[in-house]
Amino acid sequence: MKIIWFRRDLRIADNESVAKATAENAPVLPCFIIDPWFYQCSDVGKARVRFLFESLENLDNNLRLLGSKLYLFEGNSVNILQELTQQLIQLGHKPKLYFNRDVQVEYGIERDRTLINFYTQLNLDYHIGLNNFLQTDNDRRDQWIEEYYTYVRQLPPPTPTHINTPDLSLNLPQLTFAELKRKYSTFYETKKVYFKGGETLAQKTLDSFLTKRFYGYHWKLSRPWLAQQKATSHLSPHLTFGTISVRNVYQSTKARAAELTDQPKAQFSLKAFRVREACALRSRLRWHDSFTQRLYFHPEIAYTNCYPEFDEYYRPDELTSSQQELFHAWCEGITGFPMVDASMRQLRTMGWMNFRMRAMCATFLTINCGISWHHGAKHYMNYLVDGDLAIDNWQWQMQAGITNPLSDTFRIYNPNKNIEEKDSDLRFIYHWIPKLLGYGLQDILEGKCTEHGLYPAPILDWAQTRRVNGKIVSDLRKRVRERLLAEGGEEYENAIATKTAVIKYFESKDKQYKHFKDQQS
């Protein structure tokens, strides 16, 4: 009997553990464990739990189409799997456990280590597969990029057409999906669901994006109103929960681009999605997996500053009373900065923001409000339906000015400038702050919307806080840079070489883009 333990890989297609466990029509037991650890965490919001439950229900439906079903257990994951294994042994089976690696949290890493030891002690086999690409060999980390592209270009394992799952009488706490919805009804109270879970819907979302929604992606993705209207892929929660694989998205996008050789603008939009530089030469999809890779080798970055010099400024300490007021205004979207407020209200309602607005709100909290990224990262994770610890907390450090200290500058987003550049028709702001209807762009930029008390006055002086707090962060970055230079050695030289290569790469891409625009004009 083979046990398939689903975690953040809630799909049948391109699932290594599913493919290997079902290869010879051996009897398998697909299962998921509702572990209280997940939904009782303080930084796990309702939208993400609901998305998970919807994905599980869809997985069960898809398994039943193949003659199988999903066993839905409830309790501590280690205890459940240990007891399940013992009961299968008593029924005359020799269990083999299949699961794909999950490195999101230290709890999960320790959980997996305990189960591996348990199976080893019982002299039972287990198989650890890949949900998406992850290089676990520390000696091969320098080859990550090369091997990553080898992985995403490989043919995925075959999807089973039948799964043999016998009915078993097990003395374990199980739930039907009807019982799940009754017991956890609080997670189904959302008035409107903007992102619904499941492998079936993930594939439909990808198909609709590749059919027509991708047109203009390269310029629409930074505009919050267009992004809200699905100008972006909206696949991020599906990638987070593994209802679709990065490899599927990569190969499908590449195939679609090949069909558009006579449509250069459309092909450019798809290339922007598949190969767009997001961070250190990583594409959108490679960018997703690279953060998981970093967290695997450095789990501490989820909670600690990547450079100790910043410990004196960014700490997870309890906020002072004045900081609490600023933080409350930021969370509720009542800062008096319309672009920040509209974005934060969107987050609370939809459980989502496009990347640029996430970055803008993060720099506003950390640089302008002077509040540690720890508090903002936790708030994001409490609301984001696509909350991914590997991406979220590193990005917060990046927007707080901590990362890449070899650069002399770091970015601080101007909320008003973003109105002019990304929402000049005010559709996004009007949608989330209807009290501003009737005010024009210039009225809002000049602050006239606050004159009659319909909208709050700014909670801070943006230019002054940028100057004062920005200098604090800049000085800390300088100290890090000087330390690295003083220490010298191969690490610093490699960093300088990498920085030079990055600059040259972006200069090259910028020239390519300008050449493309010249051709189209």
**Three-state secondary structure call for residue 71:** strand
User: How many Å apart are CA 169 and CA 175, to the nearest integer?
Assistant: 14
Length reported for the chain: 521
- Report yes or no: 97 and 115 within 8 Å, Cβ to Cβ: yes
Residue 386 known to bind ligand: yes
Nearest to 199 by CA among 35, 6, 36, 352: 6
236: annotated binding-site residue? yes
The DSSP line for 223-289 is -HHHIIIIIS---HHHHHHTSS-HHHHHHHHHHHHHTTTT-HHHHHHHHHHHH---BTTB-HHHHHH
CA distance 69 to 201: 19
Q: Tell whether 518 is in a known binding site.
A: no
With beta carbons less than 8 A apart as the criterion, state whether 134 and 292 touch: yes
CA atoms within 13 Å, Cβ hemisphere of 248? 24
Determine if residue 343 is labeled as part of a ligand binding site.
no
Transcribe 290-309 into DSSP letters.
HHHHHHHH-GGGGTS-SSGG
CA triplet 183, 187, 192: central angle to 5 degrees? 135
Q: Is 235 annotated as a binding residue?
A: yes
- 377, 392 in Cβ contact below 8 A? yes
Q: Which residues contact 330 (CB under 8 A, 6 or more apart)?
A: 340, 344, 361, 364, 365, 369, 371, 376
State yes or no: 67 annotated in a binding site: no
Three-state DSSP state, 95: coil
> Are 333 and 340 in contact, with CB atoms under 8 Å apart?
yes
Closest-CA residue to 194 (of 230, 223, 220): 230
- The DSSP letter of residue 331 is H
On whether 122 is known to bind a ligand per the annotation, the reply is no
The set of residues, in sequence order, having a beta carbon less than 8 Å from that of 370 and lying 6+ positions away, is: 323, 326, 465, 469
Query: Which has the closest alpha carbon to 3: 180, 166, 120, 244?
Result: 166
Q: Is 383 annotated as a binding residue?
A: no
Residue 233 labelled as part of a binding site: yes
* CA 235 – CA 5 distance, rounded (Å): 23
Summarize the annotated binding site as residue ranges: 217, 232-236, 386-388
Annotated binding residues for FAD, as ranges?
Answer: 217, 232-236, 386-388
